[in-house]
Homo-oligomer: A and B are copies of this chain.
């Protein structure tokens, strides 16, 4: 049980996670040392271990936040009265990544870590699972409204399309993070033309 206010605890955890996020993005999960996080956060070892029990826990917290950022973007539009087209949905989900590369780079780190760390894998599946659910529900509603599908064919349509749309998003992320000359606008334009509308 907290000895200071919950708000303070929350703020400290965020301060630590923020510092960790910056160093993780710059140096990678594994090459970031606790000393790096300590220096960047302006706190001390003792302070940090009072809020996180290990470096791994910090990694998982950062990963969940980064993944959550993407779902937040989708959640907003999925409930809008004016349903966007699949192409617009894709753009909305990804546009937030362009201003700051940190999230994009970290997503690659999270994927890489998930391939060999079961706990990271579980964290990732949990957050992405919610994103997929939202996406799927949106596609069902969109195809019913805009394509006059009945419930059953809309569900089948969404089940088929979700992985491929998600794949387009993942490809965008890889290229945004790694290709110096990546043209995100063009990528999204082409994707929008390929996707149903």
A188 to chain B, nearest CB (A): 9
- Whether the Cβ atoms of B186 and A163 lie closer than 8 Å is yes
- Whether the Cβ atoms of B117 and A28 lie closer than 8 Å is yes
A114 to chain B, nearest CB (A): 6
Work out how many copies of this chain go into the complex: 2
Which among A105, A109, A115, A175 has the greatest number of chain B C-beta atoms within 10 A? A115
- Whether the Cβ atoms of B116 and A26 lie closer than 8 Å is yes
**Complex: A163 Cα to B195 Cα, angstroms:** 15
Chain B neighbourhood of A169, CB < 8 A: 171
CB contact between A170 and one of B28, B161, B171, B186 (< 8 Å): that residue: B171
CB contact between A111 and one of B160, B178, B182 (< 8 Å): that residue: B178
- Whether the Cβ atoms of B111 and A174 lie closer than 8 Å is yes
CB contact between A115 and one of B114, B160, B177, B191 (< 8 Å): that residue: B177
- Whether the Cβ atoms of B177 and A161 lie closer than 8 Å is no
Q: Number of A residues contacting the other chain (C-beta, 8 Å)? A: 44
Residue A30 CB within 8 A of the other chain: yes
Beyond A160-B186, A160-B190, A163-B175, 11 extra complex contacts between A and B, CB < 8 Å: A25-B116, A27-B116, A29-B30, A30-B30, A30-B31, A108-B112, A163-B171, A164-B171, A164-B191, A168-B171, A194-B194
**12 A/B residue pairs, CB under 8 Å, sorted by A:** A25-B116, A28-B112, A28-B117, A30-B30, A105-B115, A111-B111, A121-B178, A124-B178, A164-B187, A167-B172, A170-B171, A194-B195
